[in-house]
Homo-oligomer: A and B are copies of this chain.
């Protein structure tokens, strides 16, 4: 038997378990050139909330009745594709499902010798590459800069801050618990942290960034971002990577108009999607793997066990329940 999670209805506001429906069916048979993959880990990511909306964005919205999609790392069970054989570990953009088939050309090999296979969904996967290109190609911290990262303890933000340190910047992380702030400053080498649930972000920024903010990497949007904009320095650079604080808004979010700050500071604000850098994924993969293996970049994973808990793991992202990459462990894997 195969189980899969279906989007039963579009969430209104914050997603609830009501919007997901567990369906059972047959394990699919791989067709020509196809591979059958047994899910070991599936990834839940904030961007998925956008796909649940009835609005076209950079990608087509998901429809009610569709099986939820996700990045998956799994084990090949059966292969009709020459590049894969049973026992291989593969990554693919597949489904919230225990088993799925895909063309071999849509899968990539994951090397279990290189790092734990779960990292192919996190620090060595899409979030790590997002941090890599967003930091080094868009935000561009330089030695001497003060860099602020929001959502700093997340899968992307935690790597962004470490890349900021590697680039010579002073790095200040904004996150939502004392535990997260301690991880950022004590383990990852961030210079300071602001716990937005426990202290005023404007005051925290005044204290942590007495000379203003040169670079801001934004994963959250909303009032935290307003506070950073007010402290941008001349020629500041802002990378807009995510706006998680707004994704569940039921009405069009409003806030203070800040474009005038860009005249005062001549700052540059730029949005990014990792897919635009597809031609350079090998570069990012290679460097991130080296840094992780050297211990230059550390990472954390929050692993929710059990396929049945995928919706709650996803919903938890909007409560900031994860430290580092949020994964769902669906099946076992033994090398």
> Which residues of A approach B to under 8 Å, CB–CB?
57-58, 218, 221-222, 225, 240-243, 246, 252-257, 259-273, 276
Q: What are 15 A-B pairs with beta-carbon distances under 8 A?
A: A218-B259, A221-B257, A225-B259, A240-B260, A243-B259, A243-B260, A254-B255, A259-B271, A261-B271, A263-B271, A266-B273, A267-B271, A268-B268, A268-B270, A269-B269
Kindly report how many copies of this chain are found in the complex they form together: 2
**CA of A264 to CA of B272 in the docked complex: distance in angstroms?**
8
Residues of B within 8 A of A263 (CB): 58, 240-243, 271-273
Sample of 12 more A-B contacts, CB < 8 Å, known A261-B271, A266-B270: A222-B257, A240-B260, A240-B262, A242-B263, A246-B257, A252-B257, A254-B256, A254-B257, A255-B255, A264-B271, A266-B272, A267-B271
A3 to chain B, nearest CB (A): 33
**CA of A231 to CA of B2 in the docked complex: distance in angstroms?**
43
**CA of A270 to CA of B235 in the docked complex: distance in angstroms?**
9
Which residue of B is nearest A234, CB measured? Answer: B58
Q: In the complex the two chains form, is B259's CB within 8 Å of A240's CB?
A: yes
**CA of A246 to CA of B261 in the docked complex: distance in angstroms?**
12
Residues of B within 8 A of A243 (CB): 257, 259-260, 263
Residues of B within 8 A of A259 (CB): 218, 221, 225, 240, 243, 269, 271
Given contacts A221-B257, A255-B254, contact A269 B266 (CB under 8 A): no
Q: In the complex the two chains form, is B256's CB within 8 Å of A252's CB?
A: yes
A232 to chain B, nearest CB (A): 10
**CA of A57 to CA of B252 in the docked complex: distance in angstroms?**
30
Residues of B within 8 A of A273 (CB): 263, 266
Q: Which 5 residue pairs of A and B lie closest in terms of their CB atoms, listed nearest first?
A: A262-B271, A263-B271, A269-B269, A268-B270, A253-B257
